[in-house]
Chains A and B, each alone.
Chain A
Amino acid sequence: SQQGEEDPQALSIQEGENATMNCSYKTSINNLQWYRQNSGRGLVHLILIRSNEREKHSGRLRVTLDTSKKSSSLLITASRAADTASYFCATGVNDMRFGAGTRLTVKP
């Protein structure tokens, strides 16, 4: 079964807008990770946030974590057409499990 579940399943925005994706998970975590996948390619790690952190930034990415609600969000600011991809959250200890992903389309 999946550990994380992303929401929404699909998101379409205009270039320059911000994109927000959410992830909910079920069990206690040590950390939560976000990954990006361009169509049919291998996943690429974006950011890792530990359970004792509430917010983390990396370039145009901002991740928040609310362990009381078992949820996380990924914000991409000033989106670009090149950000078009699927985004996944992942949690786990020995078993890193991924959600079904959010498919983001950024229109030029």
Chain B
Amino acid sequence: DSGVTQTPKHLITATGQRVTLRCSPRSGDLSVYWYQQSLDQGLQFLIQYYNGEERAKGNILERFSAQQFPDLHSELNLSSLELGDSALYFCASSVGTNEKLFFGSGTQLSVL
């Protein structure tokens, strides 16, 4: 158990819908990272937060947004969903930046 909690584990929705993925980092970790992994693909970096502030942005679509709350949990919002958004979404946390990451077990999103 990495100590990083992601909910829900599975999500099935329809095109055009909006969903929210949630991540609770390990106790004491200030950084949260979001990644997207499509079938048999590597991890695409989406966005990183440190202590509530956005620190780095990757290949995140404009339809996607995220935030980190004062209690350090984070949410990834995906809107106007398309079939191609179907993927495994991972959250990871670390104490600071440029350090060892601890990954959650992921949210499997299926857009039908």
Contacts and interface: CB of A to CB of B under 8 A. Distances in A.
B52 to A, nearest CB: 14
Contacts of A94: 48, 50, 55-56, 97-98
Contacts of A43: 43, 90, 92, 101, 103
Contacts of A42: 2, 4, 90, 103-106
Interface string B58-89: 11000000000000000000000000000010
B100 A33 contact: yes
B43 A45 contact: no
Contact of A98 (B42, B50, B98): B42
A48 B100 contact: yes
Task: State the majority secondary structure of interface residues on A.
Answer: loop
Given A43-B92, A94-B48, A94-B97, A99 B42 contact: yes
Contact of A41 (B50, B98, B105): B105
A100 B108 CA distance: 19
Contacts of B55: 94
A66 B80 CA distance: 44
